């Protein structure tokens, strides 16, 4: 009996000891898998223009098909992974794109200059996220890598074609994940004659011209900007009159644009410059603003041509530059500048003694210049006036000033309004054309000759003939009268 009790005690002790030893858990079947990131970098692109980070979301047990998510993962991502066996990985990608809590980084950042990098990692789900890109590039999508994955009643060890360009080698072509949207800027001015947008036009002083800046936007709804601004400057020959409109355009060939909300940007301006700067609050708003869904911004504004405008091919230039900065950047990137120009011309006269030729200049001759021949005939609506100096020359100036008048290209009509003393006023209307060469520095001159006045002088040779003829007529009349009176007496 004692022996039996002793045996039972030993058995119970053994059972208790056995219970104290935890059961050895069966090891999860999580083999390593390999995939490669690839980026075909253009030769002129910097090696660190783009960067990607690989995040581990979950590990896979091939025996059970169960995923074990990493700690700290966003709840929406966890929920999407649990449903991954019955839904597309697109839901996992969307959940990752919408959060910053996207798993554990592998600490192996892939840069665009790396060309190729292989990642050997435990079987599971990984998120390949672009973490650096220029604002000129638009991200089409990030990537989810799930290896192996179950399809057609078997585990598949190669990526599907929708994820990798070359599934047989599990290479993900990252260059295909972006659409290249190069930034550009175009500056034009409305031609006064044709009413079309051109790089240069001509306008006379005190009249207006309209400029157009057409510039690409930058960034995207997923790659936001911290700043975006358009700056414009003009030289002293132009004065800013008004900013007429700021609009979004979906495409370059769109015929109409959408006004940009006034609250989206701040405007600073003076007589010769302005800046339109989009606010950071607008660019980084929780709901992506219309800025990112449109490709272009158009700015229309009007300037007045001043009498300080200069003649020349490199004068009266208007310059625009755009600057942008992604939220991930520390410095702004400039785009441009681009320019448009307004040409002006000058005109003058040369007065000379027509009886002696151009070697005999005349001073103090006065002229006016007109836009039409009828105005010249009637001497109405004179554009500018001129009065010759001792060299017979004068440039046209605005009446009451001494500043050379700046003309637009075209045909004008010059008329003398007052002749020098002792000279006859020339009544001919002289036609001149300005603008044969864009921005020519030459002054087009109207050459006009005057003839001296030929008036009789008292006691001069001109009166002698009249005296002789008059006296002869008087004598002849007296003789005739005497003859007539003599005949009358004889008849009596």
Question: Which CATH number does the domain housing residue 88 bear?
Answer: 2.60.40
243 and 155 share a domain?
no
Element (H, E) at 321: strand 317-326
DSSP assignments along 156-191, one per residue: E-S--TTT-SBGGGTEEEGGGGEEE----EEEEEE-
**Of 434, 450, 466, the domain-final residue:** 450
Q: What is the distance between the alpha carbons of residues 283 and 219, in angstroms, rounded to a whole number? A: 10
Q: What is the distance between the alpha carbons of residues 162 and 145, in angstroms, rounded to a whole number? A: 11
In the chain, how many domains are there?
Answer: 3
Contact 39, 175 (CB under 8 A): yes
Listed in sequence order, the residues at least 6 apart from 325 whose beta carbon sits closer than 8 Å to its beta carbon are: 135, 225, 226, 227, 228, 331, 332, 333
273-284: string of b/e by CB count within 10 Å (b at 16+)? ebbbebeeebbe
**CATH assignment of the domain containing 198:** 2.60.40.740
CA neighbor of 141 nearest in space, from 52, 66, 203, 215: 52
Which tokens sit at 38?
A: 């690839």
284 and 408 share a domain?
no
Contact 119, 34 (CB under 8 A): yes
Q: What is the distance between the alpha carbons of residues 192 and 105, in angstroms, rounded to a whole number? A: 61
229 and 323 share a domain?
yes
Range of the domain at 371: 347-450
Which tokens sit at 264?
A: 């989206």
Strands (E), 168-257: 171-173, 178-180, 185-190, 197-198, 200-202, 208-216, 225-234, 238-249
Sign of CA dihedral 35, 36, 37, 38: negative
One digit per residue, pLDDT tens: the chain, 492 residues? 444 445 444 433 443 433 344 444 456 788 888 888 888 877 767 777 788 899 999 998 888 888 899 988 888 999 888 875 545 678 888 888 888 888 777 767 888 788 788 888 899 899 999 888 776 666 667 888 888 877 777 887 777 655 555 545 678 888 777 766 668 899 999 998 899 999 999 999 999 999 999 999 988 887 789 999 999 999 879 999 999 999 999 988 888 899 999 999 999 999 999 999 999 999 999 888 999 989 999 999 999 999 999 988 788 999 999 999 888 778 888 998 999 999 999 999 999 888 888 889 999 999 999 999 999 999 999 999 999 999 999 999 998 889 999 999 999 999 999 999 988 888 899 999 988 666 566 667 777 876 777 554 444 444 555 556 566 667 676 777 666 566 665 655
pTM: 0.63
337 and 352 share a domain?
no
76 and 152 share a domain?
yes
For β-strands 32-38 and 171-173, DSSP reports them as parallel
SS3 62: coil
């Amino acid at each position: 009996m004692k022996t039996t009790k002793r045996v039972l005690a030993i058995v119970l002790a053994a059972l208790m000891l056995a219970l104290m030893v935890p059961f050895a858990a069966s090891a999860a079947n999580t083999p390593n898998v390999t995939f490669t990131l690839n980026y075909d970098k253009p030769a002129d692109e910097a090696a660190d223009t783009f960067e990607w980070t690989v995040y581990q979301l979950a590990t896979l047990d091939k025996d059970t098909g169960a995923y074990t998510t990493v700690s700290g993962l966003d709840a929406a991502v966890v929920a999407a992974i649990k449903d991954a066996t019955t839904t597309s990985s697109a839901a996992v990608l969307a959940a990752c794109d919408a959060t910053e809590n996207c798993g554990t980084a592998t600490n192996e950042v892939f840069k665009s200059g790396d060309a190729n990098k292989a990642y050997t990692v435990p079987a599971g789900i990984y998120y390949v996220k672009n973490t650096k890109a220029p604002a000129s590039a638009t991200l089409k999508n990030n990537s989810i890598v799930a290896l192996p994955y179950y399809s057609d009643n078997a585990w598949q060890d190669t990526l599907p074609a929708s994820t990798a360009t070359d599934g047989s080698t599990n290479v993900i072509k990252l260059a295909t994940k972006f659409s290249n949207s190069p930034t550009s800027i175009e500056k034009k001015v409305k031609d006064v004659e044709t009413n079309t947008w051109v790089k240069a036009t001509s306008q006379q002083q005190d009249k207006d011209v309209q400029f157009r800046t057409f510039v690409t936007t930058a960034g995207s709804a997923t790659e936001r900007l911290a700043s975006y601004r358009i700056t414009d400057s003009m030289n002293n020959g132009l004065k800013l009159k008004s900013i007429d409109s700021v609009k979004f355009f979906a495409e370059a060939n769109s015929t109409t644009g959408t006004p940009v909300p006034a609250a989206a940007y701040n405007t600073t301006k003076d007589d010769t410059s302005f800046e339109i700067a989009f606010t950071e609050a607008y660019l980084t708003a929780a709901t992506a603003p219309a800025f990112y869904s449109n490709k272009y911004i158009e700015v229309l504004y009007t300037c007045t041509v001043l009498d300080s405008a200069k003649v020349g091919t490199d004068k009266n230039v208007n310059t625009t530059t755009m600057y942008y900065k992604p939220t991930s950047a520390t410095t702004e990137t400039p785009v441009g500048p681009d320019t448009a120009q307004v040409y002006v011309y000058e005109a003058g006269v040369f007065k000379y003694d027509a009886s002696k030729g151009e070697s005999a200049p005349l001073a103090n001759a006065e002229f006016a210049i007109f836009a039409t021949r009828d105005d010249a005939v009637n001497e109405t609506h004179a554009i500018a006036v001129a009065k010759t100096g001792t060299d017979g020359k004068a440039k046209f100036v605005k009446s009451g000033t001494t500043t050379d008048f700046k003309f637009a290209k075209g045909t004008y009509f010059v008329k003398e309004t007052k002749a020098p003393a002792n000279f006859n006023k020339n009544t001919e209307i002289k036609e001149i054309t300005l603008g044969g060469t864009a921005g020519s520095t030459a002054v087009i001159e109207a050459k006009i000759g005057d003839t001296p006045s030929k008036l009789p002088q008292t006691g001069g040779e001109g009166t002698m003939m009249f005296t002789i003829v008059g006296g002869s007529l008087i004598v002849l009349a007296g003789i005739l009268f005497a003859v007539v009176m003599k005949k009358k007496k004889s008849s009596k």
